[in-house]
């Protein structure tokens, strides 16, 4: 492991230098990795492993949209694509990548395929940490491990294809074979991680649920909407309001932050922007800290889990989701966004 200084705190991380792909292939040479679920993370992780030379099969419900997607991606029914049950039976490593609500629903069926010595792999600590609600309690004679890429499945795949990889956390919940760490790191490398950093199942789910409800998605969308609505209420056009609230962030500034850090971005913008941003950041931090406190408590208490399982387990969840997303998509702000995106140079008609 490499020791890296993260702002004065020394952490151990695993890079491709410490655990190269050849070593991962050696560790996994006798394994059959069964990826259950072909929705969000399943396609990226399975395709990346396959192209890295790992023996991978996919489990998915036949007749579903995701089954058809798997076939389109090159998985062959009866050879590398099976039902969830058949893939679970064949796999020595079972990557449980169906939705959190789906994991709870399928768990009574999956348990009988978790024979001694297998590895049960998660990319989210949700089901195991909140087992009192999900019922997911792994048997004692299997490895229970986690690799959680810090990005969407789309990013996991895109970063793999461009050679950059994506950062992932990893954790060992249960080491039944004595080989759980090797298996975990090998799988982490095989799915395309740029580097791997240690966590626990509990810390992963607490940080992940907070992050996606907070700055990664919920807070970001809410703050964008608030600024857009403010500008529109003062007579700014939709184009101006959207460019100032979203487009400049996503197309320019956030890329500078990603490449060089926030201080570099501040140093390379106008002095007017510097002064205002440096002063107002404190007000925004103080205003949002109570919201984040409430959010974290809701995550740790299991309230967010209750809401997710209740909503996502409903038969009409997809229909209700479609209504919510349609409302967002057809709002003035995001209709303005569609128009702005169409005017980007790469979309100009030749």
pLDDT at 350 over 70: no
Burial 61-94, CB ≥16 within 10 A → b, else e: beeeebbeebbeeebeeeebbbebbebbeebbbb
pLDDT at 313: 81
Rounded to 5 degrees, what angle do the CA atoms 87, 91, 96 make? 75
Mean pLDDT of 219-239: 96
Q: Are 119 and 170 contained in the same domain?
A: yes
pTM for the whole thing? Answer: 0.89
pLDDT at 120: 98
pLDDT at 151: 87
Q: Are 23 and 164 contained in the same domain?
A: yes
The backbone torsions φ and ψ at residue 303, rounded to the nearest 5 degrees and listed phi first, read -65, -40
Q: What is the pLDDT of residues 269-309, one digit of tens each?
A: 889 989 999 999 999 999 999 999 999 999 999 999 999 98
Structural domain total, the chain:
2
Q: Are 142 and 51 contained in the same domain?
A: yes
Domain extent for 189:
2-200
342, with CB counted inside 10 A (0-12, 13-18, 19+), is: exposed
Residue written as token pair 């889990």:
305
Q: What is the pLDDT of residues 141-190, one digit of tens each?
A: 999 999 999 988 999 999 999 988 889 999 999 999 999 999 999 999 99
Last residue of a domain, one of 200, 225, 240: 200
pLDDT at 9: 84
* Residues with catalytic roles: 124
Q: Are 24 and 57 contained in the same domain?
A: yes
**Percent of the chain residues past pLDDT 90, beyond the cut:** 80
Q: Are 37 and 133 contained in the same domain?
A: yes
pLDDT at 233: 97
Q: Are 149 and 218 contained in the same domain?
A: no
Q: Are 179 and 310 contained in the same domain?
A: no
Q: What is the pLDDT of residues 309-341, one digit of tens each?
A: 898 888 899 899 999 999 999 999 999 999 999
pLDDT at 5: 82
């Amino acid at each position: 492991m490499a020791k890296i200084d993260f702002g004065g705190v020394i952490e151990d991380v695993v890079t491709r230098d410490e655990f190269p792909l050849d070593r991962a292939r050696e560790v996994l040479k006798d394994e059959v990795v069964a990826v259950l679920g072909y929705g969000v993370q399943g396609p990226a992780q399975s395709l990346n492993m396959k192209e890295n030379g790992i023996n991978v099969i996919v489990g998915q419900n036949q007749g579903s949209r995701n089954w058809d997607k798997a076939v389109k991606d090159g998985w062959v029914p009866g050879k590398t694509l099976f039902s969830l049950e058949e893939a679970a039976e064949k796999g020595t490593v079972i990557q449980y990548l169906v939705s959190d609500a789906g994991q709870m629903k399928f768990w009574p069926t999956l348990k009988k395929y978790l024979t001694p010595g297998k590895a049960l792999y998660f990319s989210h600590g949700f089901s195991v940490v909140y087992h009192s609600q999900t019922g997911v309690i792994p048997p004692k004679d299997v490895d229970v491990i986690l690799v959680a890429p810090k990005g969407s499945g789309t990013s996991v795949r895109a970063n793999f294809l461009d050679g950059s990889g994506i950062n992932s956390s990893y954790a060992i919940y249960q080491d039944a074979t004595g080989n759980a760490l090797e298996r975990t790191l090998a799988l982490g490398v095989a799915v395309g991680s740029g580097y791997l950093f240690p966590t626990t199942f509990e810390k992963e789910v607490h940080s992940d649920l907070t992050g996606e409800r907070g700055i990664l998605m919920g807070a970001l969308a809410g703050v964008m909407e608030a600024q857009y609505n403010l500008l529109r209420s003062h007579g700014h056009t939709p184009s101006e309001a959207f460019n100032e609230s979203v487009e400049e962030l996503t197309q320019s500034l956030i890329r500078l932050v990603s490449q060089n850090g926030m201080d570099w971005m501040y140093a390379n913008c106008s002095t007017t922007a510097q002064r205002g941003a440096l002063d107002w950041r404190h007000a925004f931090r103080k205003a949002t800290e109570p919201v984040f406190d409430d959010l974290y408590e809701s995550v740790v208490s299991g309230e967010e889990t209750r809401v997710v399982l209740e909503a996502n387990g409903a038969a009409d969840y997809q229909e209700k989701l479609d209504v919510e997303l349609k409302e967002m998509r057809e709002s003035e702000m995001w209709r303005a966004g569609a128009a702005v995106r169409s005017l980007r140079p790469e979309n100009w008609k030749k």
